[in-house]
Structure 1
């Protein structure tokens, strides 16, 4: 492979808003406690086995750093500590860790001490907790110094009906740096760190997905189907291309028996067909190098819903300029995709 580096490109993160760019400004994450997230596993812990699972509250702490601290305390290798989800440092999080401790007495974790960390529950399980083994996350978020309560009140009612299911901008790095790093990797730059390779691949794939959503918003097609759109059953996540746009098909979409999707790029043919396939190819025609690179890395064509509907959505005004919002999102979805539709946090 060539070691020649491609000219650096900037990947703009100017994805379209569903309800228009927010006119109300506000502050987000001024304090760790302003961003509270509680994860939920998609299975029950067994109560016995070789893995010790810890339910932990942490405030202002890095997930990976805490994993190393737990390993040191338990006298095991850092590789034997895992967690279900990588959570924000600037937050109050409730999350699961697992420690592989076979054939030994469970350490007394009541003596574990670390600033901002509390171990709330200790339970054995028969399997390692792997990243992504979550059903979803509950969020409680405080927004402060809101400039236009009346305008935000209207947008809150809209957001409850759904927002674009964007991957959060934090995935892409400053000015899309992680996407550019992926392109350099595809063009021969050697990245030995598997973790970094994974970040770059995810960023590139996510960027293409976001670009399709953004274009569909611009064309008023976020909830309007095209012939051949690949839809996903909400209940079991299997998907198929729409063979027609009959009244029955539109009704299935309206009641959310099925939902519209966009591609997570990989090797092979798009699973959409007809008009939708041509539309998706046109949306991504400027990114052929990224498409080829993702396919060559062995990723497969997958799909992800276009629309994200926050479940159990509620809000409460604490005063004229301070708001708390609460909602539940499935695993892999971003709270920042909800926040970006509500307020402009750039000031």
Structure 2
């Protein structure tokens, strides 16, 4: 296992770039800088769960045969774990026999896919069983046989429809900002759901890494994800501040749009060609999802990333020690199939994002939340992977 360099060992330039913040703030997304300046609007998001609709894009056709059942549901005021627990109970199977492609928040209406491995068991009465447990908070849209378990990362994306109420601000500026977002994308921050109530999962991960009591299996992945996400958000915030989040620098790891494949931008590449492909959204700069091993970046970009993990060695070392491997995540994301529509005193937004991207990163550039539902953009859990 490769330990992160200390600041004394990292380059002077890289370490000067980082000023550590308190661990309690690492899971807070409110301070993260926007790409285009202050948002032009104020308003209320998710006054009712129906104001925030998310629908998973499965990306493949069910097999139509097999021992698993793909179950398409619509839920409100339920989180993903509660639905998975109910499905396991109705089917009479262990909880690990239930799969899903992404977690969705309680305070929303979500159309989501689950899988259940029946493994030779008789088909239960899904409608009656779920109605008895969850009443009108869930309805079944489809049940289809399938050969494989549904796992995190198998979705093609998520479609969002958001109703923002009591909108105030400069509508002309908001329309111009929306055009900026469509043309340039938004910083691909991890949203507040990733960090738990009040952003506490990063502190809990640090306590575990320091020798505290290991978390339950159901909590382990959540804490590891929060720790990784906090480091990524720090890196991205730095690059937003220095306006390099949407440009390629020599040494950057560039990811192809819509694919996981990437390459390191070296001095032999055509700078003009790379710049055009970045502008057209074909390539994206990436940041590290930390784990064992070295940063894939090169030169000054690698030094910056090493400076980050040298500033937070407990997080970096803890992630490497549990066996997570290095990965990359695009620094920006583009909303697709987007629509922007004023409705009297409100605003309707709809768009599609790739898996792992958060709708709140789009809204953040446009809207400052007002009123008691400020939690919709703060660390009380939001959609949305």
Task: Name the TM-score, length of structure 2 as normaliser.
Answer: 0.83
Alignment of 1:94-243 (within 5 A): 94-112=111-129, 113=131, 114-148=135-169, 149-161=171-183, 162-174=185-197, 176-243=199-266
Give, in angstroms, the shift of residue 107 of structure 1: 2.6
Aligned Cα RMSD in Å? Answer: 1.9
* 1:40-91 superposed Cα distances (whole Å, 9 cap, x missing partner): 2233211111112211111222222222223333333333222222211111
Give the secondary structure class of the aligned counterpart of 1:26.
Answer: strand
Structure with the greater relative contact order (CA < 8 A, sep ≥ 6): 1 or 2?
Answer: 2
Aligned pair in 2 of structure 1 residues 311, 11: CA closer, same or farther (>3 Å)?
Answer: same
Alignment of 1:310-325 (within 5 A): 310-319=335-344, 321-325=345-349
Structure 1 residue 331 corresponds to structure 2 residue 355 = yes
Flag structure 1 segments of 5+ consecutive residues without an equivalent: 1-7
Give, in angstroms, the shift of residue 206 of structure 1: 0.5
Give, in angstroms, the shift of residue 23 of structure 1: 4.2
CA contact (8 A) 2:71 2:115 kept: yes
Aligned pair in 2 of structure 1 residues 171, 139: CA closer, same or farther (>3 Å)?
Answer: same
CA contact (8 A) 2:248 2:274 kept: no
- Aligned-partner Cα distance in 1 for 2:246–2:346: 32
Q: Which residue of 2 aligns with 1:273?
A: 298
- Aligned-partner Cα distance in 2 for 1:224–1:336: 22
Between 1:175-184 and 1:47-56, the stretch displaced more is 175-184
Kindly tell me the number of residue pairs found equivalent between the two proteins. Answer: 339
CA contact (8 A) 2:57 2:158 kept: yes
Structure 1 residue 9 corresponds to structure 2 residue 23 = yes
Give the secondary structure class of the aligned counterpart of 2:297.
Answer: coil
Aligned pair in 2 of structure 1 residues 289, 76: CA closer, same or farther (>3 Å)?
Answer: closer
Structure 1 residue 260 corresponds to structure 2 residue 285 = yes
* 1:1-45 superposed Cα distances (whole Å, 9 cap, x missing partner): xxxxxxx83225311111113242111111111111110223321
Give the secondary structure class of the aligned counterpart of 1:128.
Answer: coil
- Aligned-partner Cα distance in 2 for 1:50–1:117: 24
Aligned pair in 2 of structure 1 residues 279, 328: CA closer, same or farther (>3 Å)?
Answer: same
Flag structure 2 segments of 5+ consecutive residues without an equivalent: 1-21, 372-385
Give, in angstroms, the shift of residue 117 of structure 1: 1.4
Give the secondary structure class of the aligned counterpart of 2:42.
Answer: coil
Q: Which residue of 2 aligns with 1:305?
A: 330
- Aligned-partner Cα distance in 2 for 1:195–1:69: 16
Q: Which residue of 2 aligns with 1:342?
A: 366
CA contact (8 A) 1:39 1:137 kept: yes
Task: Name the TM-score, length of structure 1 as normaliser.
Answer: 0.92
Give, in angstroms, the shift of residue 128 of structure 1: 1.4
CA contact (8 A) 2:338 2:352 kept: yes
Q: Which residue of 2 aligns with 1:5?
A: none
Aligned pair in 2 of structure 1 residues 176, 284: CA closer, same or farther (>3 Å)?
Answer: farther
Give, in angstroms, the shift of residue 237 of structure 1: 2.0
Q: Which residue of 2 aligns with 1:27?
A: 44
* Residue from 60, 75, 80 that aligns with 2:77: 60
Give the secondary structure class of the aligned counterpart of 2:277.
Answer: helix
CA contact (8 A) 2:208 2:215 kept: no
- Aligned-partner Cα distance in 2 for 1:155–1:220: 17
- Aligned-partner Cα distance in 2 for 1:129–1:72: 18
Q: Which residue of 1 aligns with 2:15?
A: none
